[in-house]
């Protein structure tokens, strides 16, 4: 593996935890076109962003009956992320990350969301720039 590739590999988080009854649902390296940026030259010119997502989902260890409705579906998550990215101009990668996290935390049983958003074509001498956040569901 090249040194550049090694430097951008995101190590898997240790979210899945039998003691805490958590399952780890993730999305890796989702690349989207997004109207994002604060500078005049960025507005109206879609840019590539890469999204990585880690969700901590309640897992009571009970039977899933091999049915999609009994889990958090990563396809549903990706569809929601695509919709957020397509929903008009966003100034900051931080704002995009917050919107993704809040949308994920609305999913049933989602307890935490770690979101990394990277702009891929900003600096010639950097593969990406961006932000990573982690948010937890509010206790009811």
In this structure, what CATH number is given to the domain that contains residue 32? 3.30.1130.10
Number of domains within the chain: 1
pLDDT at 81: 98
Question: What is each CA distance from 36 to 33, 42, 80, 134, in whole angstroms?
Answer: 9, 7, 17, 21
pLDDT at 54: 96
Ordered per-residue pLDDT tens for the chain, 140 residues: 555 555 556 565 678 887 888 899 999 999 999 999 999 888 889 999 999 999 999 987 777 788 778 788 999 999 999 999 999 999 999 999 999 999 999 998 999 999 999 999 999 999 999 999 999 998 75
pLDDT at 123: 92
Tokens of 138: 């509010």
CA distance 127 to 121: 7
Range of the domain at 15: 3-136
CA distance 92 to 97: 9
């Amino acid at each position: 593996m090249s040194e550049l590739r090694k430097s951008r590999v995101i190590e898997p988080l240790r979210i899945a935890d039998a003691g805490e009854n958590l399952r780890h649902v993730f999305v890796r390296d989702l690349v989207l076109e997004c109207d994002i940026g604060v500078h005049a030259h960025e507005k109206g010119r879609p840019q590539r962003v890469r999204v990585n997502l880690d969700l901590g989902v309640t897992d009571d260890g009970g039977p899933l009956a091999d049915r999609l409705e009994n889990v958090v579906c990563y396809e549903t998550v990706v569809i929601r992320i695509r919709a957020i990215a397509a929903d008009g101009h966003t100034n900051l990668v931080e704002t995009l990350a917050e919107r993704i996290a809040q949308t994920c935390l609305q999913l049933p049983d989602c307890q935490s969301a770690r979101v990394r958003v990277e702009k891929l074509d900003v600096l010639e001498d950097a593969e990406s720039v961006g932000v990573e956040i982690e948010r937890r569901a509010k206790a009811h």
